[in-house]
Amino acid sequence: MEIANTVSASKITLSELMLPSHSNFSGKIHGGYLLRLMDQIAFACASKYSGSYCVTASVDTVDFLNPVHIGELVTLKASVNYVGNTSMVVGIRVTSEQIQTGVIKHCNSSYFTMVAKDDKGNNVKVPKLILSNIDEVRRFYDSVNRLENKKRYKELEHTFDYHSKEAIDGLESFNVVIAEKLKGKI
């Protein structure tokens, strides 16, 4: 019998009040501190889903949409959006709430790829993912698209000739200056 688990079985919510010790000099919370919280919830979510110890394999784009201030309540929500054989993509949404006014703002969203491990550090198979509603189907397909785009980008990286005259000439449309000694080597 194959083991399967629901998306809802993976869901985790974490809330924390932002303190002065979490902030930078302008009174905003360090992005690195938020990333630490995101990594913690990704671990908890993936471990809860898989029943295994999990490690972070990669973090997809993290766009900081709105700053978080001292005194705000930050809430992170995570769920498994995609599973492979031994890996899971955990979607994370971060919001902050100004406690006195109740105003909530979306701070960022990100996707952590987590890998399940056994006690010896070997990869282990994760349960299949049961998709129960159209949002879960959308999130699964969004993850598939991100993974395919990542694979295409890596293939392009391996085949692109950075030494070609076309590559160097193509840089002129960016905010760079090509040193004459570099132009002479092409």
Per-residue pLDDT tens listing for the chain (186 residues): 679 999 999 999 999 999 999 999 888 999 999 999 999 999 999 999 999 999 999 998 898 999 999 999 999 999 999 999 999 999 999 999 999 999 999 999 999 999 999 999 999 999 999 999 999 999 999 999 999 998 888 887 767 777 777 877 788 788 888 787 776 666
Q: In the chain, how many domains are there?
A: 2
* Domain shared by 140 and 78, yes or no: no
* Domain shared by 11 and 29, yes or no: yes
C-alpha 56/C-alpha 121 separation (Å) is 13
* Domain shared by 66 and 108, yes or no: yes
C-alpha 161/C-alpha 168 separation (Å) is 10
Whether residue 118 contacts residue 110, with contact meaning beta carbons closer than 8 Å, is answered with no
Q: Give the structural domain span for 92.
A: 1-132
Instruction: Please give the C-alpha separations between residue 152 and each of 62, 70, 144, in angstroms, as whole numbers.
Output: 20, 41, 12
* Domain shared by 153 and 92, yes or no: no
Instruction: Please give the C-alpha separations between residue 35 and each of 15, 60, 91, 134, in angstroms, as whole numbers.
Output: 14, 12, 13, 29
CA-only gyration radius of the chain, Å = 21
C-alpha 125/C-alpha 116 separation (Å) is 7
